[in-house]
Amino acid sequence: MDSFRSLVAVLARRAAEQADDRAYVFVSDRGTEEASLTFRQLHEAASALAERLIDVARPGDRAILVFSPGLEFLVAFFGCLMAGTIAVPMMMPRRNSARDASAAILANCTPKLALTTSAFALRGDLQARFAQENIRWIEVDLSSDGVASDLPEPSPDDIAFLQYTSGSTSEPKGVMVSHANLLANLEMIRLALGNSRRSTYVNWVPLYHDMGLILNALQTLYVGAACVLMAPNAFMQRPLGWLRAISHYRAEVACGPNFGFDLCVNRYRADQMEGVDLSSLRIALNGAEPVHAETIQRFIATFAPHGFDPRAMYPAYGMAEATLLISGGSRGGHHVTRKVSRAALQADAAEPPSNPDDTQIVVGCGRALTGERIAIVDPEQCARLPADRVGEIWVSGANVARAYWRNDEATRDGLNAEIAGEDGPWLRTGDLGFLDRSGELFVTGRIKDLIIIRGINHYPQDIERTVQMLDGALRENCGAAFSVPDQSGEETLVIVQEVERTARHTIDAEEIKGRIREAIADGHELSARHIVLIRPGALPKTTSGKIQRKLARRLWLDGSLEQIN
C-alpha cells in the first residue's frame, strides 16, 4: 500500500484516481437509496466546509459532530481534518437522561463548534443546551461549490479526532487519535481482512462509534472500496434488512457486535430471506463485545442455507485506545474455539476440562496484527505471563494512541505502561485473557467487572449467559451480574435481567427467580442473593451495546431500577 502522511491525503488520492466511483451510499430501512457520494463529491463538499471552519475556528479547536444517520457526518469529519479542527464524534444527547455521557464529554473537550444537520439545529433543547456551553452551531449538507480548496495538509502527528471511550467501567476518556495512528491501524486492518477496492462493506454500526467509523467507513476509503450505510435503528427493527443489503450490493465485508448476529438469528423469517444470497460475504467480523461460540454456531446453521460460508465468520478484538483493531484472523480462515476447564479459568489458567460439567468453550479473537505486539501481563506485578495463563492484555504498536485528552494520570498509567524488565510503552487494556502457544488471543473478561466471591473468580458474562438460556422471556445480551458487600462485608451476587416486552405481564416473577437461583447454584456454585427483573431497555449499555455493569450496580444500590413484580 502507498505511504500517506494523513487521512486527508488518502481522500485526495481517491478523489483524483477514483473520482466518479461511489464512496458512500445511505439506504433506508426498506433498502432504497436515499443519498450517495462519489470520492470527488466527498472531497469537494469537505473542502467547502473546511473553508467555512477556518473562518470561525483556529487549528486545534474542537468541534463536536452530532448527526442523525446519513452521509453528512462524513462531510463534517473530513471537513474538520482538512481545516485542522479536532473532530469529536458524539451520539445524540438524550433528553433528561442520567446515563447521558455528553455533559462529561463537553466538559472535558470544551468544543468551540457543533456540527450537525439543519434538522437537528432546529431542536430547541439542543440549542439551549449548547448555548450554555458557548458553542457555535455549523450546519452541514452534502453540497459543494465544485472547487476543491488548496488547504495545508496535516502532519502525521496532528490529532485527527478524539474518540471518547464508551465508558463501560468509568467516565468516558478522550483518546487522542493522530493521523499516524489511523493510517497504521487502517493498514493493519487491510492486511488482516485482505481488503481491496472490491471489498464493498455494508454497515449499520453508528459512525460516532469507532467500529462504525474506522473499521467500516474509513477502511473502505483507505482501500478505495464502496461503503453502504444503514441507520442503526433500522437494523434493530429489521435486522434481516442488513443481510438483504449484503446480498443486493454483493458485499465482501460486514462488521458488528455479537448481539447483532444474535438478533439476525432471533428475527429469522424464511419468507423475508427469500432470494437472499450471502455467498459474496468473505468477512463477517464479530467484535466490540464478548464473542460467544453459540452465537457463531447459530448464525452459521441459520444462514448457511442462504449461501453464508462458515469460513467468513471472523471474531476480532479491539478498542479505541489502539485506534480500533488489536487482533484478528485471516480471510478465509476458520474461527478458533477451545474447550477449557471452568474451574481452572477461575484460577487464571487455561487447561483442559476435567469432565463435561467442567467445560467452557472460549472463542479465539485472532492474533496480533502486522507491526503490533500483544502480551499477557500480571496486572499487579506487571510481569509477563506465559502461554495459557490468564492476565491483563497489553498492546504495543504504532496504532496505540499516546495520550488521553486532558487526563495525565490515565495517560501515564494506561497508555504508557512498562512490563517488568522490558521497554515500553504499552497500552493496558483492562481486559483479561490468555494467549495460546500459537499466539491466538482469547478474551475472558474485564478486570473491573470480575466478580470475586470467597476468593474465587467468576466472569459475569458466564453467569449472565446461564440466566438468559433459561427462558425465552429473559432477553439475550440484556442482563448484568455483579457483587455487593453484605452487612458482614462478604461479597454477595446480584442479578439484574431484562424481561421481553411480550412477557412482562405474563411471567411468574417468583417462579422464574427460583429457576435462576437454581441454575446459578448448579452451574457456578454461587448463591444469587438478589435477583431483579426489569423492563426492556432499562439496563444501561454503551453505544456499542456493552453492558455497563458498574452503572447497573450503582443504579441498583440507589434503588433506581424499577422491578417487574
User: Pick from 208, 237, 266: which residue ends a domain?
Assistant: 237
79-88, 159-168, 515-524: segment of lowest average pLDDT = 159-168
Q: Can you give the pLDDT at residue 302?
A: 97
d(CA 448, CA 431): 9
Q: What CATH number does the domain containing 547 carry?
A: 3.30.300.30
Let me know whether 357 and 388 are in one domain: yes
* 81 & 218 share domain: yes
**H helix or E strand, kind and range, residue 426:** none
Q: Please report which confidence band the pLDDT of residue 476 belongs to, taking 50, 70 and 90 as the band edges.
A: confident
Q: Which helix (H) or strand (E) holds 81?
A: helix 72-83
**pLDDT per residue over 195-223, tens digit each?**
999 999 999 999 999 999 999 999 999 99
Task: Let me know: does 47 contact 151? Beta carbons within 8 Å.
Answer: yes
List the CATH number of the domain containing 396. Answer: 2.30.38.10
The reported pLDDT for the residue numbered 402 is 94
378/482 same-domain check: no
pLDDT in tens, 111-126: 999 999 877 655 666 6
User: What pLDDT, on the 0 to 100 scale, is given for residue 63?
Assistant: 96
Q: What domain range includes position 372? A: 335-448
Instruction: With respect to residue 495, please indicate whether it lies within any of the assigned structural domains.
Output: yes
Decide if 126 is inside a domain: yes
Average pLDDT value for the chain: 89
What pLDDT, on a 0 to 100 scale, did the predictor assign at position 396? 96
| CA 223, chain centre distance (Å) | 21
What average pLDDT does range 267-278 have in this prediction? 94
Give the chain's domain count.
3
Flag whether 284 is in a domain: no
Mean pLDDT check: name the lowest of 197-201, 290-294, 308-312.
290-294
Is residue 247 in some structural domain?
no
8 confidence band (pLDDT: 50, 70, 90) = very high
Residue 167 has pLDDT above 80, yes or no: no
Among the listed residues 350, 14, 282, 4, the one whose alpha carbon sits nearest the alpha carbon of residue 154: 4
Q: Which helix (H) or strand (E) holds 377?
A: strand 372-377
Choose the final residue of a domain: 448, 470, 495.
448
Please check whether residue 384 lies inside any domain of the structure: yes
Least confident residue range of 57-66, 242-251, 290-299, 481-490: 481-490
Q: Dump pLDDT digits (tens) for 325-358.
A: 999 999 988 899 999 998 898 889 999 999 988 8
d(CA 373, CA 166): 24
Q: Which of 518, 529, 533, 454 is nearest to 492 (CA)?
A: 529
pLDDT band at 506 (very low <50, low <70, confident <90, very high): confident
Phi, psi torsion values for 114, nearest 5 degrees: -130, 120
* 3-state DSSP of 236-250: HHCCHHHHHHHHHHC
What does the block give as the cell for 77? 469529519
Note the Cα 309 to chain centre separation in Å. 24
Q: Are 238 and 276 in contact (CB under 8 A)?
A: no
- Kindly state whether residues 231 and 87 are assigned to the same domain: yes
- Is there a domain that residue 465 lies in? yes
Has residue 497 got a pLDDT over 50? yes
**Is 222 among the domain residues?**
yes
- Tell me what the mean pLDDT of segment 437-449 comes to: 90
**Cα–Cα dist 37/22, whole Å:** 6
Write down the pLDDT at residue 121: 55
Same domain, 77 and 198: yes
Q: Is residue 322 part of a domain?
A: no
| Residues 8-22, mean pLDDT to the nearest whole number | 96
What pLDDT is recorded for position 169?
Answer: 46
Domain identity same for 203 and 60: yes
The pLDDT tens digits for 22-38 are: 999 999 878 889 999 99
**Residue 198's pLDDT is what?**
96
Domain check: are 70 and 201 in the same one? yes
CATH of the domain at 231: 3.40.50.12780
Instruction: Give me the pLDDT at residue 461, please.
Output: 85
The number of helices, as runs of H, and strands, as runs of E, in the chain is: 18, 27
Quick one: 17 and 89 in the same domain?
yes
Residue ending a domain, among 197, 215, 237, is: 237
Q: For the segment 372-389, what is each residue's pLDDT rounded down to a tens digit?
A: 999 999 998 999 999 999
> Which is more confident, 458 or 311?
311
pLDDT of residue 558: 83
Same domain, 425 and 393: yes
Question: Does one domain contain both 412 and 530?
Answer: no
Closest CA to 361 of 315, 396, 395: 315
